Amino acid sequence: MTKDKPALGFIGMGLMGAPMTRRLLEAGYDVTVWNRTNEKTAQLLEAGARPGKSPKSIAANVDITMMCLTAAPAVEAVVFGEDGIAGAKGTGKLLVDFSSMRPDLTAEWSVRLRDTNAMGWIDAPVSGGVPGAEQGTLAIMAGGETAEIERVRPVVMNLCQRLTHMGASGAGQTTKLVNQIIVGCNVVVVAEALAYAAKAGVDAAKIPDALAGGFADSIPFQLFGPRFAGGIYEPPLGKLALMTKDLGTASDEAAGVNSAAPMTNLALELMRLLEARGHSHDDITILRELYGDKPLR
C-alpha cells in the first residue's frame, strides 16, 4: 500500500465480491476481507488480502469498508448485528454498499448508521455481472452525498467503466431496479425468441451473430443468447433467486409509486415458476428450461 491509497475492507466474497476484491488487490490497495464462510476468502488471502475477524474489526481498521451481499437481511446483520460495522468508530470513514435492496431501507439505514457511529453510507449497486466484475467494466449507480461519492470515486473506478451519482441515499438502488427491470424482462424474451427459432427449424446458435448490430441487439442478448442456444451453464453468471428477488422488489416499488409494471410482473411470475420447480439457486441460464429441456439447436 502506498501513502496515497486508503486502506480498504471488503465484506462478501460471492460471485461478484471475490473478483471485485481481486481487482482492488491488483491495483495495489491493502484490502482486508471477511465472509460468513471462511473458505470463500482462501483464494483472496493467497492473492494478498488480509483476514478480518469480523465486520466490526474491519470497519475499525480501514478507511473505506465495502460490501457486496445477497439481500437486505444480510446487509442488516453485517452492519447492525453482533460485531457489526456500526459497532466501530466511524468518524471520517465510509461504507460503500454494492448490494441490491430496497431503496427505502438503504435511506433509512444510512441515517441510522450515521447517527450510531458517524460513518457515511453510499449505496452503489452494480450492473455487468461476473464478467464485468472480473474485467473492471461494471456500471455503478450511486446514491449518497456528493463529497463522499467523490472521495471514493478513485477507488471504485478500479471496478467499473462508469460511476454515476444518481441522487440522495437510495437513488442508486432505485436505478438498479430500473436496470433489473430491463435486464430481467430482456433475458426472458431472449430465451423465448431462441426457442421459437429452434422449433421453427433455424439454428438458434446463429441468431446472436445474425442480429448483432441491429435493433434487437443488446449486451444481455449477446451474453445469454449463446448460453440459451447451447445449454451452457458454466461459468455461472448469477443465481435465478437474485434476479427474482430484485424483480420482486421492483414490482413492489412500482406499485408504491403507482407505476404500471405488467412486463416486470410477467417476467417475475415466470421466474417464480422455475423457483417452484426447485431451480432457485441455479444459474440464471436456467430460464431456457421454460421453453424445453434440450439445447435450442
| pLDDT tens sequence across 29-81 | 999 999 999 889 999 999 999 999 999 999 999 999 999 999 999 999 999 99
Which residues are known to be catalytic?
176
Of 293 and 175, the structure prediction assigns the larger pLDDT to 175
Q: What is the pLDDT of residues 126-164, one digit of tens each?
A: 999 999 999 999 999 999 999 999 999 999 999 999 999
| All domains of the chain in start order, with CATH | 8-167 (3.40.50.720), 174-291 (1.10.1040.10)
Whole-structure pTM over 0.95, yes or no?
A: no
Q: Tell me, what's the pLDDT at 1?
A: 43
Residue 297 pLDDT greater than 50, yes or no: no
Q: How confident is the model at residue 294 (pLDDT cuts 50, 70, 90)?
A: low
Of the chain, the end-to-end C-alpha distance in Å amounts to 51
Alpha-carbon separation of residue 199 from 4, 9, 177, 208, 294 (angstroms): 59, 50, 33, 16, 11
The whole-angstrom separation of Cα 191 and Cα 183 is: 12
